[in-house]
Amino acid sequence: MDKINIMINGLPGNVAKKMARFAISDDRFNVVPFSLTGQEIEENAVTIDQTPFELVRPDKRDEKITRIKTQFAAFIAIDYTHPTAVNSNALFYTQNQIPFVMGTTGGDREQLKRVVKNSSTPAVIAPNMAQQVVGFQAMMEYAANTFPGLFEGYTLEVVESHQNGKADTSGTAKAMVGYFNKLGANFDVNDIQMVRDPEVQKKGWGIPKEHLTGHGWHTYTLQSPDGSALFEFKHNINGRDIYVSGTFDAVLFLKGKLIDPDNSKKFYTMIDVLNKE
């Protein structure tokens, strides 16, 4: 199989760095030596495992993309940038016909979906690229659709802990609240408790010190009105390796859609990737 050209955007961010390190050593991919970055980033370049990447700020990307597309006629972008860049990046990708896999959370998600669906550019977009977590979400969605109101009257508490560099509330937690509400909980996503203090994470939660800079621990607790019944769901992820395999599977999935002459769908989620549909 010919190598797939991929452009990893979000360097020098930690998740993008992780993606780049794995991609450089993966025989399935050829990594484009450019990365879209934020306007506030001072560096012009970053080197990862002896591979240099030129960092492209928003005010330069329109002129740079012509050069990049000339050098790499076809490539798939992987987006792990910043929540504030989600919608502008999606617009940039679709306007320049760059298929993309977006694991960045935040932004206006409905607008994001509309932009992709109304374009000629396919994309896989998910607030969580960990396939096992996505599978868990799918199970909860099934429960919500099959047993609506099952937890009517129960109170819900949602607490999520991520590294202190994560600016927004977890998109996965928000999605889970939707399922729990359909199951009968009456919970506002604004009441999700965000934990970002490393001392609290280490001492109160027991998160390993080496993973304070990269983790995702979520706990969802349901309690009956009289306190006699309690249900707790949790998923604790240390490090970022689990997101790499899911992201790369999404790239392979998207590549398959690009070469499928009968495919007209543009917007995909990780459920599509898991179902291979």
Residue 198 pLDDT: 96
- Cβ neighbours around 47 below 10 Å, total: 9
% the chain with pLDDT above 70: 99
Q: Are residues 169 and 78 in the same domain?
A: no
CA distance 252 to 29: 10
Q: Which helix (H) or strand (E) holds 55?
A: strand 51-56
Over 90: is that where the pLDDT of 117 sits?
A: yes
- Whole-prediction pTM: 0.83
Is position 82 annotated as part of the catalytic site? no
Residue 128 pLDDT: 87
Q: Are residues 256 and 194 in the same domain?
A: no
Residue 51 pLDDT: 96
The count of domains in the chain is 2
The pLDDT-based confidence of 209 (bands split at 50, 70, 90) is very high
Q: Are residues 13 and 115 in the same domain?
A: yes
Please state the rounded mean pLDDT for residues 64-68.
Answer: 93
Please state the rounded mean pLDDT for residues 248-261.
Answer: 92
Residue 1 pLDDT: 66
Q: Are residues 170 and 190 in the same domain?
A: yes
Range 103-123 burial, b when 16+ CB lie within 10 A, else e: bbbbbebeebbebbeebebbb
Q: Are residues 170 and 211 in the same domain?
A: yes
Over 90: is that where the pLDDT of 264 sits?
A: no
CA distance 218 to 24: 31
Q: Are residues 93 and 9 in the same domain?
A: yes
Q: Tell me the residue range of the domain where 68 lies.
A: 4-125+241-275
Q: Are residues 117 and 213 in the same domain?
A: no
Average pLDDT, the chain: 94
Residue 127 pLDDT: 84
Q: Are residues 38 and 107 in the same domain?
A: yes
Closest CA to 267 of 92, 109, 145: 109
CA distance 188 to 213: 28
Q: Which of 82, 162, 215, 218 is catalytic?
A: 162
* Beta strands 193-195; 155-162: pairing state: parallel
The pLDDT-based confidence of 221 (bands split at 50, 70, 90) is very high
CATH of the domain at 80: 3.40.50.720
What pairs with residue 220 in β-bridges?
A: 158, 233
Residue 2 pLDDT: 87
Q: Are residues 17 and 89 in the same domain?
A: yes
Q: Are residues 156 and 76 in the same domain?
A: no
Is position 166 annotated as part of the catalytic site? yes
Q: Which of 17, 82, 166, 255 is catalytic?
A: 166
Digit-coded pLDDT (tens) for 42-64: 999 999 999 999 999 999 999 99
% the chain with pLDDT above 90: 90
Please state the rounded mean pLDDT for residues 200-213.
Answer: 96
CATH of the domain at 219: 3.30.360.10
Q: Are residues 223 and 260 in the same domain?
A: no
Q: Are residues 25 and 95 in the same domain?
A: yes
Residue 55 pLDDT: 97
In this structure, what DSSP letter does residue 85 have? G
